[in-house]
Amino acid sequence: MSTNNENKSYQVNTYKRNEVEFVKGEGVYLFDKSGNKYLDFLCGIAVTGLGHKNKKLINAAVTQIDNLWHVSNLFTSTPQENLAKKLCEKSGLDKVFFCNTGTEANEAAIKFARKFGKGKSNIITTNGGFHGRTYGSLSASAQEKLWEGFYPLTPGFVNVDYNNIDAIKNAIDENTIAVMLEPIQGENGIVIPSENYLQEVRKVCDENNLLMIMDEIQTGNGRTGKYFAYQHSSIIPDIVTMAKGIANGLPLGAVICSDKVAEAITPGSHGSTFGGNPVSISVANKVVELITPELLDNVNTVGKLFVEKIKSENLSIIKEVRAKGLMIGIEFIESIDVKNLASKLLENKVVVGTAGNNVLRILPPLIVEELHISQFINTFKSVLLIENLITKQSEELCHQN
């Protein structure tokens, strides 16, 4: 944003904000101040999975606001209990702690693991991982660019390469208590590990009495076509952290853990004034209900269709398409400026993000349909043509092949 007085921003410069201002949303679409309609294929970075202005979610929020919008966690809350039960049933775990955000969920997970460890404190984390911005989760996010200017970090994190089981085995010592990782690295550019990696991590954790902490903040809530991404690998972690899509845009985070971990936590060990706010919780209770097996089928079907359509274009500027359900990354060759491409798509009324190494990050709502995918592909191709990134002939040639 410009610094002349008229346009001066009073907010700290933590985001490179776009000038577009969205004022309304409906289903898979967003609308700006001038009434322009945009296809929302970013979902507030994997948050509004059920789309905008969902009537059932609005009703849940409004009813709760009308009754009670805050009460201390020192009192019983049936909506919290109901949601905790649902999350335990979904995850295969036993107990839940509610907070407000992803980074807070990971802070709690780190504390729970260390309390459980009774003096053992080291947590193995993976290079390129992202777990949040507060000190514990920042220190667990093994990316130097995130750390610059913020040293000293919190000690006790041992970083190893992602998707390398031997690296984990070699990093274990008598002070290790847990392995913490994402089932798919989101911020690192939708990096999907080999098929049996998570199973191998589970096995190594079992053999060495380590806790497996799974950060499902971006991958959870149906994003990859299962409620949790680890369910593609038929394993159950000891601790699962979630946030983002859990209340479709209202602030809520959760840590789900096994009884053995929960037993280490006693009143006063941890807490949050706002954690599990009644309005967020009421909406989340509805969100969990609305992420049905049919919706998850849609995520898988439409996600596959998206990948097929993109691949069938045979575009030489694309290095790789990586996807699980509707968590999609398109990696471009180095000469393509992916940030510029995302801005051009925005100019053409499609909202996407970027991540990792030259990757266009595409996170459509779980309710997306084939027609929206076609709309995306058409706009995507016309932007590539306008920007001279592909030529008309090469495009026609691809279609003849």
Ligand X SMILES: Cc1ncc(COP(=O)(O)O)c(C=O)c1O
Question: Residues 90, 120, 131, 322: which binds ligand X (CB under 6 A)?
Answer: 131
Token duo for residue 344: 């051009």
What is the spatial distance between Cα 79 and Cα 338, in angstroms, rounded to a whole number? 43
Verify binding: residue 331, ligand X, rule CB under 6 A.
no
Q: What is the residue whose two structure tokens read 């393509």?
A: 336
- Tokens for 33, please give them: 């101040």
Q: Give the span between the Cα atoms of 302 and 366, in whole angstroms.
A: 9
With contacts defined by CB under 6 A, name the span among 34-42, 86-94, 102-110, 298-306 that binds ligand X. 102-110
**Pair of tokens at residue 87:** 């999350």
Q: Which is nearer to ligand X, 336 or 364 (CB)?
A: 364
CB of 353 to ligand X, least distance (A): 10
Are the CB atoms for 252 and 246 separated by under 8 Å? yes
Task: Return d(Cα 148, Cα 136) in angstroms, integer.
Answer: 15
Q: How far is the CB of 27 from ligand X (least distance, A)?
A: 23
Q: Is 29 in the site for ligand X (CB under 6 A)?
A: no
Handedness of CA 14, 35, 50, 287 (dihedral sign): positive
| Residue 243 touching ligand X (CB under 6 A) | yes
- Interacting span for ligand X (CB under 6 A) from 60-68, 85-93, 124-132, 349-357: 124-132
Residues 256-295 that bind ligand X (CB under 6 A): none
The reply on whether position 102 binds ligand X by CB under 6 A is yes
Between 356 and 365, whose beta carbon lies closer to ligand X? 356
Indicate the SS3 state at residue 110: helix
Using CB under 6 A as the binding rule, the residues of this chain from 133 to 192 that contact ligand X are: 182, 186-187
Only one of the segments 99-107, 112-120, 188-196, 321-329 lies at the binding site for ligand X (rule: CB under 6 A); that segment is 99-107
107 lies in the site for ligand X, by CB under 6 A: no
Tokens of 260: 């053995």
Q: Which is nearer to ligand X, 183 or 303 (CB)?
A: 183
Part in contact with ligand X (CB under 6 A); list of ranges 33-41, 88-96, 129-137, 318-326: 129-137
Helices (H), 208-337: 259-262, 278-290, 293-312
Pairing of strands 318-324, 327-332: antiparallel
The verdict on 230 binding ligand X (CB under 6 A) reads no
Smallest Cα–Cα separation from 156: which of 181, 134, 173?
Answer: 173
Among residues 103 and 258, whose Cβ is nearest to ligand X?
103
Determine, following the binding rule CB under 6 A, whether residue 350 of this chain makes contact with ligand X.
no
Give SS3 for 363: coil
Footprint on this chain of ligand X (rule: CB under 6 A)? 45, 101-103, 106, 130-132, 182, 186-187, 215, 217-218, 243
